[in-house]
Amino acid sequence: MNAPDRHGRSGRPAAEGLMPSLILRLRPSNPWAVDALITAVVQAAVTIPFVVPRPADAPPATWPMYGMTTLTVLPLLWRTRAPFTALLCITAAGFVYLPLDGPGQPMPYSPVVAIFSVAAQAGLRQRRFTIGLGLPLVAVAVALKTNTAREYLFSYFLFGMVYVLGVLARTRQAYTETVELRAAELEKARQVEAERAAERERARIAREMHDILSHAVSLMIVQAEAGPLVVRSDPERAEAAFDAIAGAGRDAMVQLRRMLGVLRDDPSDGSEPGGSRSPQPTLAGIEDLVAAVRRTGLSVTYGVDGAPRPLAPDIQVTVYRVVQEALTNVLKHADAATVSVRLTWTLDGRLGVTVGNDTVDDAVGAREGRTGAGGGRGLIGIRERAAAHGGTASAGPGPGGRGFRVAVDLPVVFSSGSECSEVRS
């Protein structure tokens, strides 16, 4: 490697840390361009001793000497793709240049860049070989030139400093790659979670739409079918049937507008400032729900066992939708005379919801179970709603194998406040 010349010009200018700093800041977006730039800078640095005036007692600077100096620089073009090979070529050219007694350099620029490149990019075996062979070669190079303690100390310090900078650059690059990989993984996980959230939201909207439309349409169909039969014999009952149809349609429209309002980006529904929306259904709305079904001519009883307590709004919506869907299934699939709706509050923090009917034809009751659990969305939606709160849902024949019953069990914690918290399994 190039050492200070025998005239003692070992100058330690600011360029001592310039090359490693420059390499650290250059990101190899185009390795060939970066290596070419570094090579050009080093070539300019080693050219300076050949163009500045030399002392009268110094040997002249010839073109062959300049050519040999250039040979110590050209291998830097491959410092990124083959750093260890580049270092070997530079070292060999440097030792060939030593006996020529050409102009010395303030710093061994080419070896500095090559050692840094090996420490930053080469493999473990090549790095170890560089340390094991480089230290003795430094001693040989200094011995052939000045052979002074001052130059030994400077050369070993420079070798160690450049190598440590290369190790730090490699560590920093590894850390950066790890952070980028982690960021990419987090972004991918975020996208997956966003897709899952969208799927869950679509499923929730599908349940809400099914419950609202299915119940309203079922009530309207039942009333519409009964209307023509009594329009002449019992005009008042026919009028009540048509009123029920209109009421069911209006209720469905109100709930649909509320859902569409939630889906809109604009928090206002456009009707008035603030865009007020109808609240979500609660347990108190079950009585009105039962009353609406009674108007179809079906006998529906509603009872509560235990001491009611305040529930969280989302659980109240679930209970309401479960009762609504179960009553809709009765209207659509069962030839029932009576239906029983019952809420059971237990002391161990659970709420049971049971909707059962006495299907006149057992075959019809069985068909109700197959339709809800297999081909339809009704009982599937009930099970999904129950599972969302850590509860369970079951559907099947009623006591004694007659009729059909839907039962939901929800684990909840009651409180004296306006809300309660769920116990999620």
| Residue percentage of the chain with pLDDT more than 70 | 72
Residue 398 pLDDT > 70, yes or no?
A: yes
Fill in the amino acid letter for 361. D
- What's CA 375's distance to the chain center, in Å? 35
Contact of 278 with 317, CB cutoff 8 Å: no
Cα-only R_g, the chain: 43
Q: What is the 8-class DSSP label of residue 80?
A: T
Comparing 7-16, 151-160, 169-178, the range with the smallest average pLDDT is 7-16
Comparing 83-87, 182-186, 200-204, 310-314, the range with the smallest average pLDDT is 200-204
What pLDDT, on the 0 to 100 scale, is given for residue 375? 43
What pLDDT, on the 0 to 100 scale, is given for residue 264? 59
Give the mean pLDDT of 268-293.
Answer: 68
pLDDT band at residue 165 under the 50/70/90 scheme: very high
Tell me the domain boundaries of the chain: 14-147, 284-425
What pLDDT, on the 0 to 100 scale, is given for residue 371? 43
pLDDT tens per residue across span 15-30? 444 444 444 454 455 7
Mean per-residue pLDDT over the chain, rounded = 76
What pLDDT, on the 0 to 100 scale, is given for residue 138? 85
Q: What is the 8-class DSSP label of residue 7?
A: T
Better-scored residue on pLDDT, 340 or 217 = 340
Concatenating the DSSP letter of every residue in 229-274 gives HHTTT-HHHHHHHHHHHHHHHHHHHHHHHHHHHHHSSSSS-SSSTT
Fold of 284-425: Heat Shock Protein 90 (3.30.565)
Residue 117 pLDDT > 80, yes or no?
A: yes
Residue 410 pLDDT > 50, yes or no?
A: yes
CA distance 150 to 170: 31
What pLDDT, on the 0 to 100 scale, is given for residue 270? 46
